[in-house]
Chains A and B, each alone.
Chain A
């Protein structure tokens, strides 16, 4: 192979890797462990490196506590630190930058009924996730940490997804007929 093509091959391989979900999954797993090793002195809980639902709770409640002087409950790591965990703000920024860079930013509007359903859906999913103590991502981290209840969560989550998918499939077939 010519030297000029080698960098192209490396580039192609790298861009394939970056676009593959398994690469990101592996990266989140290792980085979550790294962030726990780095930051656990600030406070628990363990296996808390990355979680969309919990970190949204910490961000919203932590900032509300700072701005409005309330004392809403949050994880010790966010309560002890100068500012709560910022992962979710980071995800919003990172995804916006990526969408802008690759011209995938598209405004998609729905009607008022859609907004109400999604708002209610987000509200209910957060309640369920908080009662369990994590979204699907923290469940995965907890499973990696050796928590059996989190494994049970993932298994029944898969069952819930299968039931929901079959329901949607049946609905679609009914509309076709």
Chain B
């Protein structure tokens, strides 16, 4: 169990507060800059514009250096930094349905990645852009956000379980 800067008793109260402040800052700046990960790749393919793409690449690079910085400052909070070296290199950081073999996770990443990119570019934006556009008064993006809200309940109630059963039945159970 990793320990952060705040003790557990304080952290459980700080979680909603810190994340909402973080979200307000990110939402404000995302509206100002038109930030979008999918749009970055799209603009590069269509017009060779690198403005939005630089935002997404900066995120990848900065997250590495950010984790590196806080790994020096609070090593106990970054238990598995350099994930590929400190754990099984092909396994993912937890957060998805667990208990599958490593090759299954690679396969899942490849397939879901392709379809997330494909669907989002047809709808004109990645999840954060749709959320920002919904706040700007775009009803279509608002319905995208509502779809995500309903989807999260349906995923937790049904799809997650079905998916695990499916993966086990085709021999990917770990």
Interface residue ranges, A against B (CB under 8 Å): 18-42, 44-50, 52-57, 60-61, 64, 72-75, 77-78, 80-99, 102, 104-110, 114-150, 152-169
Contact = CB atoms under 8 A, between A and B. Distances in A.
A96 to B, nearest CB: 4
Contacts of A120: 147
Chain B interface size, under 10 / 10 to 19 / 20 to 34 / 35 or more? 35 or more
A53 B117 CA distance: 14
Contact of B112 (A20, A47, A153): A153
Contact of A88 (B110, B112, B131, B163): B131
Given A39-B15, A136-B126, A158-B41, A150 B109 contact: yes
Contact of B20 (A18, A89, A107): A89
A118 B33 CA distance: 23
B90 A148 contact: yes
B22 A90 contact: yes
Given A34-B70, A81-B12, A160-B118, A165 B92 contact: no
Nearest to B98: A133
18 contacts: A28-B63, A42-B4, A56-B145, A64-B153, A72-B156, A73-B160, A92-B131, A98-B32, A119-B147, A120-B147, A121-B123, A137-B127, A147-B92, A149-B105, A152-B109, A157-B38, A159-B117, A167-B122
Contacts of A126: 147-148, 151-152, 155
B55 to A, nearest CB: 3
Given A147-B92, A152-B109, 4 more contacts: A41-B6, A119-B150, A124-B151, A127-B151
B7 to A, nearest CB: 6
Nearest 5 A-B pairs (CB), nearest first? A90-B23, A122-B147, A21-B55, A160-B117, A94-B27
B66 A90 contact: no
Nearest to A146: B83
B125 to A, nearest CB: 10
Nearest to B141: A118
B14 interface: yes
Nearest to B86: A146
Contacts of B5: 37-38
Contact of B59 (A28, A39, A123): A28
B48 interface: no
B118 A55 contact: no
Interface string B1-30: 011111110011111101111111111111
Contact of A84 (B16, B31, B81): B16
A29 B63 contact: yes
Given A32-B66, A140-B37, A161-B117, A95 B30 contact: yes
Contacts of A153: 109-110, 112-113, 116
B159 interface: yes
Contact of B26 (A28, A96, A169): A28
A38 B159 CA distance: 32
A14 to B, nearest CB: 12
Contacts of A163: 114, 117-118
